[in-house]
Amino acid sequence: MKVLHVFGSMDIGGAEMRTLELMRELAPRGVEFHFLTLSGREGVLAQQIRDLGGQVHPVALSPGFPARYVALLRTLRPQVVDSHVATFSGALLLGAWLCHVPRRVAHFRSDGDGHVDSLRRRSQRSLMRALIRGFATDIVGVSPSSLSDGYRKDWATDARARVLVNGIPRFVPDPEGASLRELVAAPGQLLLHVGRPSPEKNRVHTVRVLRALCDRGGDWHLALVGGQGADSEQVMAEASRLMVTGRVHDLGSRLDARQLMSGADVVLLTSLREGLPGVVIESLSTGTPVVASALPGVQFIASHVPGVYPVSLESPVDAWAVAVEMAAEAGRSLEWRRSLESDFDSSLFAHGTATREHLRLYSGTGHE
């Protein structure tokens, strides 16, 4: 079975990493993974994909894209096109229908698409949603809110639409791996943020939470994993303004995020927008508590697994600090952490459940 996944690029991100983990499980079962990248770049995960037997096909969006896309479909002849690019999936599924691809999946990964809500953008979304209604065989979202915001509010009335969560493999610590404590090289308690350096991740707020924790008498340090990018200067400027520069540690982009999460006192997620935030479920899988923005996807996770402390984005920064202190207090108990790991392993976010559901989706038995 050939599945063509569509992404912007195969760089490190929640949806991309979850799909790579799915590939590790399904490739040995005869599912062939191909990736179409609309940026024209392969992305940093391309070599891992090739190592697992997959292929990356960079086809940049341009006036010549439709012809090149159709040519790729006719060459590959996939049984499934699984498009992860918000409402733009509509155009891609139309092309897949024209090329007689049997299964055409619109896969919603986030709450909204992050674009300005202009008249032009609203018109484009409306057109693309009409194409999804007309040409998708399956419409899935990683959370109820991703379907409500991405597809339509009454998505549950569409028999093709359903929630299909991301699964996380069981966490196995690497005894030879890096230690968060050693990387930070500082005493005190450790707050960890994992996320790309982009505005919607709201990383500046992590520095404000750190300052509030210190003002409350705590000895805290903040580690950032995600690399340099659009908001990096703003984050360090805020650290300087609040006089916590020495307590902020930028660890760059890393592939061992869960190993580092297992060594944190609390993982912090301050995002303005998410679908089903992988950072939250990754942290819970290691037994580490999470303080996170009270977004719909976060609330959805919290309703299934303990260990999540949601805080409204409108709350004062001191409320975030109090939540971090409560989470850290719970996480001090080794018994509590082991119980959290056990709860996670039996939840719908366990990797085995997600793997089975994706296999059913691709084989066309998802609604039976």
Given a contact cutoff of 8 angstroms between Cβ atoms, the answer to whether 230 and 197 are in contact is: yes
> Angle at which helices 65-76 and 89-98 pack, to 10 degrees?
50
Given a contact cutoff of 8 angstroms between Cβ atoms, the answer to whether 248 and 236 are in contact is: yes
pLDDT at 237: 97
pLDDT > 70? residue 113: no
pLDDT at 368: 45
| Minimum mean pLDDT range among 103-117, 167-181, 209-223, 269-283 | 103-117
pLDDT at 367: 52
Q: Hey, what domains does the chain have and what are their CATH numbers?
A: 2-167+350-363 (3.40.50.2000), 180-345 (3.40.50.2000)
| Minimum mean pLDDT range among 166-170, 214-218, 261-265, 301-305 | 166-170
Q: For residue 301, which of 280, 326, 331 has the smallest C-alpha distance?
A: 280
pLDDT > 90? residue 263: yes
pLDDT at 115: 63
pLDDT at 230: 86
> Given the DSSP bridges, would you call strands 161-163 and 189-194 parallel, antiparallel or unpaired?
unpaired
pLDDT > 70? residue 298: yes
Is residue 291 classed as helix, strand or coil in its secondary structure? strand
d(CA 141, CA 150): 8
Degrees to nearest 5, angle at CA 56 with 28 and 49: 40
pLDDT at 13: 81
Is residue 140 classed as helix, strand or coil in its secondary structure? strand
Mean pLDDT, rounded, of the chain: 93
pLDDT at 46: 96
pLDDT digits (tens, 9 = 90+) for 191-247: 999 998 989 999 999 999 999 999 999 999 999 999 888 899 999 999 999 999 999
pLDDT at 118: 78
